[in-house]
Amino acid sequence: MSGPAVLPDTDVETEQRTKRQPPYHVILLNDDDHSYEYVIEMLKQLFGYSVEKGYQLAKIVDTKGRVVVCTTSLERAELKRDQIHAFGPDPRIADCKGSMSAELEAAE
C-alpha cells in the first residue's frame, strides 16, 4: 500500500516584486469655445472641485493653454479624460460644437 506522497523539505524563497504603475496627469487643453462658467461647472461635476478651485484652474488653462486637473492611476486618468470629452458643448456659446479636449501625460 502506498501512502500520500511526501515532498522533501525545500527552502525556496520566492521574491515577489510588484511594479507600480506611474501616476498620470489629466491635462485640460484650452480653446476659445468654452466659457469660464462651463469649465468651472465641468470641474465641479467631474472632479468635485469648489467654484473657487474651478475658477483658478479655468484661469490657468485660459492663460497657459493647459492645466493639470488631476494626477491619478492610468485607469482613472483615462476615465476622467473620457468624461471631459463626453461632457458636451457649452450651452452659453451658440457656436460651441462639443466638449473640451484633454490628454494624459506620465507624471514622472
How does the average pLDDT of the chain come out, rounded?
89
Question: How large is the average pLDDT for residues 48-70?
Answer: 98
pLDDT score for 21: 80
**Domain 24-106 belongs to what topology?**
Ribosomal Protein L30; Chain: A, (3.30.1390)
Is 2 or 95 the better-scoring residue by pLDDT? 95
Q: How far apart are CA 49 and CA 55, in angstroms?
A: 10
Percentage of residues of the chain with pLDDT beyond 90: 75
Q: What is the CA radius of gyration of the chain?
A: 24
Question: How large is the average pLDDT for residues 35-64?
Answer: 97
Domain residue spans of the chain: 24-106
pLDDT higher than threshold 60 for residue 14: no
- For 9-70, the three-class secondary structure string (H helix, E strand, C coil) is CCCCCCCCCCCCCCCEEEEEECCCCCCHHHHHHHHHHHHCCCHHHHHHHHHHHHHHCEEEEE
